[in-house]
Structure formats: C-alpha cells, structure tokens
Amino acid sequence: MSDTAMSAPADLAPARAPLDQDWRKVVNYGLVLGLALVFISLTGMPDGLNSRVIVEPWLSMGYLSLMWLPFAIGFAVTHEQVLEGMVQHKRGARELFAGAVVGLIGGLCLSLLVYLLDTRDLSDPLVNWNQPLLDFLTRDGSVGEGVLLWVGVSTALGLFGGLMRIVPALGSRLVRAVILTVVGAAAMEALIDDLSEGVWKLEGVVEWLYHPREGLEPAGAIALAIAAAFVVLWLGRQLKKGGAVYNLAREAQPLAVNAVSVVAVAAAAILLPIFLGRLTNDLLVNVGLFVLLALGLNIVVGLAGILDLGYVAFYAVGGYSVAILTSPTSPGISPTLPFWLAIFIVVGMATLAGLFIGAPVIRMRGDYLAIVTLGFGEIIRLTVRSDWASGLTGGAQGMLSIPGPDLNIGGWTLPLVGWTMPKLEVDLMGTNPQHILYVVMFFVAIAIYVSWRLENSRIGRAWMAVREDESVAEAMGINTVTAKLQAFVVGAILASFAGAVFAAKVGSIFESSFKILVSIVILVIVIVGGMGRIAGVVAGAFVLVGILGGPNQPGLMAEFSEYKLLIYGALLVWMMLKRPEGLIPNVRRSRELHQEEFLQDAWLRGEVDRDEAGSEATTDEGWAPA
C-alpha cells in the first residue's frame, strides 16, 4: 500500500519544519532498526554471506544484508497514511531528518554491538559472538573505525531512505531500477555466464562485466547502472506504448491476439531450454516443480480456501507411485512401466489419495482441517519409511535406479493398421535437465490451463463462494462438500505430477524429501506470490525457489541455504501483516482484504487519531470484520 494510493488533493500544505517530528515514532523505528541490525549480525548472516561478492572489492552480500535495513526503515518511517480529509503536507527536510535520525539510532546500536564484541565474551550461548563477526563489522580495522563506519553508513542510508520520499516518482524508480539491476546481475552471475556461453560476442561482454568467478567489476557495475537508468528513461516509455498497442489490439480482436500470445509463449518455452545450459535448465526444473506444486496448492488454498498443511502427502504419492512402477529395482511390485504409462496410474492413485484424505477432513473447521491434514502428511511419510511398509517402498533405504522419462514417444505400432510411429533419432532419455525441463513445462502448461479454466468455471466460482462464506454458499445451492472434494482432488493430481517428475529427475527417492517443511515452503510461495492468482504463484516460485532455493534444493544464491528458512518465516509474517494479497494480487481477493476504506471509515468516526493512522496503518481497525 503506497502513500499515493488515496487520491492526493491538489493543494498541499507547506512543508513542516525538520524538528516537527513525531519523536516517539522516530525513536521507536530507530530502535527497531538497531535491534534488527544486531539480530542479523548475531545470526551469522553477514559473515556467512560475505563470500558472495556483488561488486568486487566494494560490496558483498554480507554487507548488503545489513545495509538494506537503514534504507528500508528510513523509507518506512517517513511513510504517512493520508486519508480523505486530512491535511497533507509537502515533503521536505523533515523527511530527510527523520530518516537520518532513524539511521543514526540504528548505527549507534550496531556500534554498541561492535564495542561489546570487543570487550565481552558471550560466545557461550551465542555461537556467532566471535572474532570473524568483529572483523566483518570493523572491516578488519579497529573498534573505533567500525563504530564510525556504521554510524556514518547507517545515517547516510537512513537519509537516503528519507530522500526517496522527496524525489519525484521517476527518481525513485530510477534508484530502484539501478539497485535491482546491479544486485540482480550479481546474483544471477552463474545464470548469465551459462546463458552467454557460445553466444557471439556476448561472452566477451560478460567476461568484462564480471570478476572471474565472483561478483561484478566496478566498471561493469557502473555500466549496468547506466544501462538500467536508460531502460527506465527510454525503454520504459516504449514498453508502455507497446503495452497500450497490445491492449488496443486485444480489445479489437481478442481471439487473434490471444492466439498469437499463446503461440509466442509456447514457442519461447520450446526454444528456451535449447539455449540454456545444464545449470540453468536444472534450476528451472526445480522452479518448475514448485510452480506445479504451488499451482496445485493455490487451487486448494487460494481458490477453495482450504488450508491444507499436508499437501506434501500427494507429492509423495506421485513420487513413490512412479518409483514403484518404473524402477527395475523396486522391492515388492516392480512392473517396470514406462514413465508415461505410469503417469496414468499416478493420476488414479492421487485421486484416490485425495478422496481418502479429503473425505474425513472436508467437514472440519478450517483450523482443525489444517492440523489434521498436517497429520495425514506425517502419517504417510512415517508409513512409507517404516520397516512395515519397506517391502513396497524400500523403507529407509528408499528406491534407486528410477529411469528418467522417455521422450521418445515413437516406436510403438498401431494395432490393426500396422503403422509404426517413427522413433526420434535423438536420444532423449535420462537425466539431462534439458529434457526434464520439457517434461516439467508440459505439466506446468497443463496446470496453468486447468487453473485458468477452472477459475472462471462454475466450479471455480463455487470454490470462491465456499472460501468467502460456507453457509452462504450452501444457501445458494452449492454442494460445499462436493466442491471442496473436487478442489482437493485437483490439487492432489497436480502435486502428484510434480512428485512423478521429481522421482524421475532425481533418479532415487527417500522419505526425507517429503517432510512437513515442503508443505510449508509451498504455502509460503502461494502466499508471497498472491493467493488465487496464477501469475502471482508462478512469480512467487521463481523468486523464492529460484533465488533462495527450495526445502532441499539450492537456488541461485546457494549461500542462503542456511538462512532461507528464517527468511521464509519472516517473509510469511511480513506478507500477512502488510500485504496479505501477495506480490501480484488477485483483484477479488485483495478487495476482500482491502483495508484503506475501513481505515477511512474509522478515521471519520474519530476512532483513529492522525498519528496512529500514519504509523500503524494496519492495526486494530485495519481489518474488515470477518
């Protein structure tokens, strides 16, 4: 929710004096900043991420993990919720001052930590209370240098955060673009390196941009920053124009334009893996698996409003079914079917599992349901692992030698006619991530199509009605039990696809891949992306799994693997508090969760005073009554 969300009145009151602050708020934010800085330092994150260089000698991910905070909080402290009828002031020195003060307080807290690190030894309970952290914070200098450094840097960044409120929109967009480009380019070094390989001349450019094997060169970073600025200034306008043309065309001839778009997307999807290296393809496979899972959970949670915390159960059903059916060495039953035949049986198994787990829980209240599904997820994992079931599932030893999906669809002979489908000449089997990526994309395409069709169908509307209010939905003649079961089964089938591809991709299967954690990560993806929104869920999977990594999969930033769960947890809370509709919100959903109008009403009734409305936009009255 940005402060320009409400219609801004044309005439602004003159800017207030720098010292006319809400001091309590400024000090509170400063202390929060200080606590956050100390906390992050003590988790070991800065030191652990220090090996990831962003701009070769200047900046590392470790320093960035601290430096973004004063900037963000300096920006946040100057936020003011302006409601209809309030006096709106011009922005100016007051904002800068507030940002700087907040930064200063934060910097002082961190300096205190530096001092204590030097003089006290608290390493007994706090494992990161050690010399490397002190060296990191003082940049191998003396304590005094460290104190000066952090007080200075933090104050400057806080000031900079405040500055973002004053500069015109274009300016802040420029800054955002530059920062995101430089950090993003550094984060995606492996990917870009991989992409550019073999491409004419690009390789040279990339070599010039990056320091060998770590981070950007200073010159490269500056070049990228200029390029980003250029894109915002010039290309942004062009893109906007292009978008307008596209929209016009779509209004005129929706069918043709949609068809062209679909063809274009499909062509891109088919061509892309060819140009990507092994690494990128493998990463995309991981992302694709979580897109698939998240789309499935999105139907269950986002559309039908059933909080399924045992979603991993269906993932396991898919994975284990394929393992049993296709692996030549599976204990017990071992029919050694080809992957594509096994998929049909997997769908059947997933449907059964969906019905079996769904039926008992469907009548339960939302929160009971969450725990019971979580229980079912654990029951399935524990059973699969036990010696009792090891005759079928391999128990703790799992199953090995699962063949990859065979993309040679040809080779079979049509009965009666006697025509043999020609077999492709290329060898498209095994664990080559490029080939697996095609398989994943095939299933993701199915999932997107199914989600998209269902969302606008009678069933989809029934689900949403159930989500909003079950009693009302029932009164409208919707069979809520059937609707919920349908959602459960569709979700189960999509998850089982993901499980099937997962088993074929990894080539072996163990129960440790199906812990509760997986359910939670999928939930985080759905929430962060935007519940009930296909594009949001896809984007969520790309950002979270692609960059930070999945529960057992490394992302682009492998350094984060120790900290990603902490970040996931914090992200989940933050999203719920500040942006419950997700990154790319669903219109209907965000309307449900929309707060400003209630806040406006509350303010008009005099229940929220001016300062409260500014600092705690989402407290107490922020929510629509359920």
Tell me how far apart the terminal alpha carbons of the chain are, to the nearest angstrom: 21
Binding flag, residue 172, other proteins (CB under 8 A): no
State the greatest distance between any 2 C-alpha atoms of the chain, in Å, as a whole number: 90
Given 23, 58, 234, 275, the residue binding other proteins (CB under 8 A):
275
Binding flag, residue 388, other proteins (CB under 8 A): yes
Region of 57-65, 269-277, 341-349, 604-612 interacting with other proteins (CB under 8 A): 269-277
Binding flag, residue 191, other proteins (CB under 8 A): no
Shorter beta-carbon distance to other proteins: residue 11 or 387: 387
- Residue 554: phi and psi, rounded to 5, are -75, 150
Shorter beta-carbon distance to other proteins: residue 586 or 600: 586
Report 468-507 residues binding other proteins (CB under 8 A). 471, 474, 481, 485, 502, 505-507
Which residue from 218, 219, 210, 217 is spatially nearest to 192, judged by alpha carbons? 210
Binding flag, residue 445, other proteins (CB under 8 A): no
Number of residues binding to other proteins, judged by CB under 8 A = 132
Cα-Cα-Cα-Cα dihedral sign, residues 556, 558, 561, 564:
negative
- Residue 388: phi and psi, rounded to 5, are -60, -45
Binding flag, residue 64, other proteins (CB under 8 A): no
Overall size of the chain counted in residues? 626
Scan for tokens 């008992």, then name that residue: 360
Element (H, E) at 376: helix 366-385
Given 13, 245, 265, 476, the residue binding other proteins (CB under 8 A):
265
Binding flag, residue 450, other proteins (CB under 8 A): no
Shorter beta-carbon distance to other proteins: residue 379 or 421: 379
Binding flag, residue 47, other proteins (CB under 8 A): no
Taking the complex as a whole, the smallest distance from the CB of residue 156 to other proteins amounts, in Å, to: 28
Q: Give, to the nearest 10 degrees, the angle between helix 202-209 and helix 218-230.
A: 120
Report 291-330 residues binding other proteins (CB under 8 A). 305, 307, 309, 328-329
Given 87, 255, 268, 416, the residue binding other proteins (CB under 8 A):
268
Q: What one-character-per-residue DSSP string does 509-532 give?
A: B-GGGG-HHHHHHHHHHHHHH-TT
Q: Cα–Cα distance between 560 and 45 in angstroms, integer? A: 8
Q: Which two tokens stand for residue 412?
A: 């079979």
Region of 53-61, 141-149, 158-166, 199-207 interacting with other proteins (CB under 8 A): 199-207
Shorter beta-carbon distance to other proteins: residue 253 or 401: 401
DSSP 59: E
Report 396-435 residues binding other proteins (CB under 8 A). 396-398, 400-401, 427, 430-431, 433
Element (H, E) at 1: none
Given 46, 220, 277, 354, the residue binding other proteins (CB under 8 A):
277
Binding flag, residue 246, other proteins (CB under 8 A): yes
Shorter beta-carbon distance to other proteins: residue 198 or 422: 198
Given 187, 455, 492, 498, the residue binding other proteins (CB under 8 A):
455
Binding flag, residue 165, other proteins (CB under 8 A): no
Taking the complex as a whole, the smallest distance from the CB of residue 459 to other proteins amounts, in Å, to: 14
Given 563, 600, 602, 603, the residue binding other proteins (CB under 8 A):
563
**289, 440 contact by CB (below 8 A):** yes
Q: Cα–Cα distance between 60 and 48 in angstroms, integer? A: 11
Shorter beta-carbon distance to other proteins: residue 40 or 163: 40
Shorter beta-carbon distance to other proteins: residue 314 or 376: 376
Taking the complex as a whole, the smallest distance from the CB of residue 14 to other proteins amounts, in Å, to: 33
Region of 74-82, 95-103, 118-126, 221-229 interacting with other proteins (CB under 8 A): 118-126
Report 200-219 residues binding other proteins (CB under 8 A). 200-202
Query: E strands of 49-197, at which residues?
Result: 53-55, 59-60
Scan for tokens 């952090």, then name that residue: 150
Given 167, 248, 535, 604, the residue binding other proteins (CB under 8 A):
535
Taking the complex as a whole, the smallest distance from the CB of residue 364 to other proteins amounts, in Å, to: 6
Q: How many CA atoms lie within 13 A of 215 on its CB side?
A: 18
Given 21, 28, 128, 351, the residue binding other proteins (CB under 8 A):
128
DSSP 54: E
Q: Write the CA distances from 549 to 284, 422, 542, 555, integer angstroms.
A: 11, 40, 9, 4
Residues 602-621: x/- map of binding to other proteins (CB under 8 A)?
--------------x-xxx-
Task: Tell me the three-class secondary structure of 280-318, residue by residue.
Answer: HHHHHHHHHHHHHHHHHHHHHHHHCCCCCCCCHHHHHHH
Scan for tokens 């070769």, then name that residue: 56
3-state secondary structure of 504: helix
Residues 342-371: x/- map of binding to other proteins (CB under 8 A)?
-----------------xx-xxx-xxx-xx
Kindly report the number of other CB atoms within 10 A of residue 186's CB atom.
28
Q: Cα–Cα distance between 304 and 496 in angstroms, integer? A: 19
Region of 133-141, 332-340, 405-413, 452-460 interacting with other proteins (CB under 8 A): 452-460
Shorter beta-carbon distance to other proteins: residue 419 or 623: 623
Given 286, 496, 600, 615, the residue binding other proteins (CB under 8 A):
286
Binding flag, residue 194, other proteins (CB under 8 A): yes
Region of 61-69, 104-112, 161-169, 382-390 interacting with other proteins (CB under 8 A): 382-390
**149, 140 contact by CB (below 8 A):** no
Q: Cα–Cα distance between 410 and 435 in angstroms, integer? A: 16
Q: Cα–Cα distance between 521 and 476 in angstroms, integer? A: 35
Shorter beta-carbon distance to other proteins: residue 258 or 413: 258
